[in-house]
Amino acid sequence: MIDAATKTALSEAFPSIAWSEFRGDTRAVVPREVLFEVFKRLRDEHGFDFVVDITCVDYLNFRGAEDRFGLVYLLASTHTNERITLRVFVNEPDLTVPSAVPLWEGANWLEREVWDMFGIPFEGHPDLRRILMPEEFTAFPLRKDYPLQGRGERHNFPVLHREDA
């Protein structure tokens, strides 16, 4: 739940935000074009100083879904204990999303994880590398069109014999 004044101020500044409530949690679907501005305003004027999590959902073959990827930003204010969920939907071929690292340093590794698992490029990220998978890995394993058991990457290693070592 966020402060009503915050919500009003944001709604007036960004009429394209779609708001919803679920069991006391405030959620907002934000268009990608104004995402960074919304972040900036939330941080600077409404005290949201903490990124709890950044994650992503792949809606491929999901019933009723219109967009491919939905990024989820969970923000919190450590002063007022307010929490807000922001979502932004992106579609192929242009998956680029503005990075939140210039605003919250803690977004760095979270965005790297989303890049590693879903292949969402974050524009303006200072060091967008894989964080969990090996660097030579080429796929994005949490996408729904990637097979659970992989494409044989886990078997693609040299075999050590007794005589080798």
Taking CB under 8 A as the rule, does residue 157 contact another protein? yes
Rounded Cα distance between 121 and 115, Å, is 6
Nearest in space to 125 (alpha carbons), one of 115, 135, 117, 133: 115
57 forms bridges with which residues in the sheet?
A: 70
Nearer of residues 66 and 136 to another protein, judged by Cβ: 136
Which of 22, 23, 63, 160 binds another protein (CB under 8 A)? It is 160
CB of 93 to another protein, least distance (A): 13
CB of 16 to another protein, least distance (A): 31
Taking CB under 8 A as the rule, does residue 93 contact another protein? no
- Tell me the site size for another protein, rule CB under 8 A: 27
Nearer of residues 14 and 146 to another protein, judged by Cβ: 146
CB of 91 to another protein, least distance (A): 15
83-90 and 25-29 beta bridge pairing: parallel
Interacting residues toward another protein by CB under 8 A:
132-134, 137, 139, 141, 145-165
